[in-house]
Amino acid sequence: MAKTWFITGASKGFGREWAEAALERGDRVAATSRSAAAFDDLVEKYGDAVLPLRVDVADRAAAFEAVQRAVDTFGELDVVVNNAGYGLFGMVEEVTEQQARDQIEINVFGALWVTQAVLPHLRARGSGHIIQVSSVAGVTSLPGLGLYHASKFALEGFTASLAAEVKDFGIKVTLVEPAGYATEWAGPSAVQTEHLPAYDDFRAAMSGISSRRGDPSATRAAILTVVDAEQPPLRIFFGQGPLERITKEYQARLDEWRNWDEVSKNAFGS
């Protein structure tokens, strides 16, 4: 059966790829962006199967209004994708107050507001699937992306709680954790801090680290497989390499916790 999607940040990147994948197979999509005109070509091609919505997801009232418009237009929602977000590049010391607040507003609160807005509709139907676009950056950290990591760790945290809270209502929840892809995330969509000279040597050393970027269009089949699954995963990596890397890192964490276990137990008291 055809599904009805609500996708934030659908004008580019994964949001655009997944919107097109859904429409191509006959699904309907409420596509949000800060510019509804970004979907003119999709409307021309797919007609009423597309509902273009201009939304700033950081605005809670606007998020609720957009969800209600989608429900009023299509009558139901099956798949909700919180994809809107961006990367903030800079050392922790370099991040300004406004940059930090903006990063959390979009990447965390934006997803939270849309999630809160759709839950009453999904609970009433007793079904639905919420897809939170996290990142491998939501389970591991690199220097130079501290606040971005903070936003994705926060998304992972509340989403894991959410999954347990809504399971009995028939609502499924999945965290998609992509590795590096050739999207605009690290390009035009990124925000850069003003560099402090103290980190110049460290930054130069980091610039020599390169990684292969995945093809965003290759994720189309993967996301359709996830939303069509009878029992979808709570967490899934998209890309090559994350599982091996995270296995090593989490083993190192376990080793460190074990090495300090005696101190940990003594900290409990008698």
The answer to whether 14 and 133 have CB atoms below 8 angstroms apart is yes
Q: Which residues are catalytic?
A: 134, 148, 152
Tell me the two tokens of residue 84.
Answer: 């809107």
Tell me the two tokens of residue 83.
Answer: 């994809």
Axis-axis angle for helices 219-228, 13-24 (nearest 10): 60
Question: What is the layout of strands, in order, in the sheet containing 235-238?
Answer: 50-54, 28-33, 4-7, 79-82, 129-133, 172-178, 235-238
Select from 137, 138, 163 the least CA-distant residue to 231. 163
Q: Which helix (H) or strand (E) holds 160?
A: helix 146-166
